[in-house]
A and B are shown apart, each in its own frame.
Chain A
Amino acid sequence: MKGIISLLSGLLFGFGLALAQMTNPAKIIDFLDFSGTWDPTLALVMGGAVLVTLISFRFILRRPHPLLGGGFQLPRRSDIDIPLIAGSAIFGIGWGLGGFCPGPGIASIAQGSWEAVVFTIGLAGGMLAFRFLGRQPDSCFQ
């Protein structure tokens, strides 16, 4: 059952990204270009998504456990450290370079874009490289 929810959640996420045209890197690069041709669409996408999570997460996290059992797998850390800032800074450089963050990059495979496939291979490679070079056995995502 949890697998069906994961698939459904992925479907809604991918549909939303494509509907918002976040799968077109030109829209991302234009959003990040405040000094030239600015496309504010991404701000509304984030706004729409955060509007929902701000309300729904308040109610969900009051529950003792998720509807389908198990525990909530939330990020445990609350401190602001150097890797958080340095990692996010490196991510931002890659984001500005290609106009892809992970979600839209992977979803763009659906439009048969060779660049999206290459980006996704690089994404996986970069993650594996961080684990390997940093000798990090555990993920800090959750």
Chain B
Amino acid sequence: MIEAKALTKRYGVHLALDGVTFNAAPGEILGLLGPNGAGKTTTMRILTGYMPPSSGTATVAGFDVLDDSMEVRRRVGYMPERVPIYPDMTVQGYVMFWARLRGVRKAKARVDEVLERVRLTERRNSLLRNLSKGLVQRLGLAQALVHEPDVVILDEPTIGIDPQQVIEVREYVRQLGRDHTVLFSTHILSEAEQVCDRVVIINKGRLMAEGKPEALRRQLDPGDHIYVMVRGEVKRVRGVLEKIAGVERVETNGPGFSVRAKKGTDVRARIAEGVAAANLPLIEMRPVAMTLEDIFLDIVGREG
């Protein structure tokens, strides 16, 4: 549904995107992950037909973003990071305007439907200047969905709204995946893990990793990670832990220690024995699942 090949975008001398290639299948929720300034918005703007790439190609629903820009725009619903509004319009007027502009037939019925879906029906006659940020976010979704696009592109839809609304928006996005292809950008990694079928990680305009969140975690996991808490003098405990066979690295972590073991070796039994042999009381020991966050820091960190 979305195919990006070697997308490159330059702003003057600044290289915002450097040969990014990825694709998204129909009905897939693809997460676009990266720190601020990684090139997420630039990627999305190219896919929406807002700006052309400096080189490389992108197709949406089989249409090239450069050659068939109008066809692409008809098939894409876009919600920018800050939902732009006309403060003097009403909720209904605003959604109606975008519906008409995008050539929706039976616009009235469709607007009613989409307002119902984002639960704004009761506020249909409110002026946009009076809406709270969370409601504006829902309005942004409404305008992006009103023309029933094949592809929905959401640029950081959960930024700056309260936790309850964040959960709501994530729920919407998950539902969208049923009948749309969704490209969803975020810099919150747990969010991508919860919402997306697959993620693409970009940093400084380059693609760093791509895959299912679990697969990425498996693939990039540098080894087993165990949290150990032992009562005793930090230096001594650390010395004991470091000497255990299979342990690669020991770092203090809060009141305890993070122990990294060689990939595929279970060192838990040896840690228990080693600590007991040194006559130190073992308080807690548990495996730590690596989050996307760790993976991400790892990748971005490696790049410097």
Do these two chains really belong together in a complex? no
Residues of B within 8 A of A (CB): none
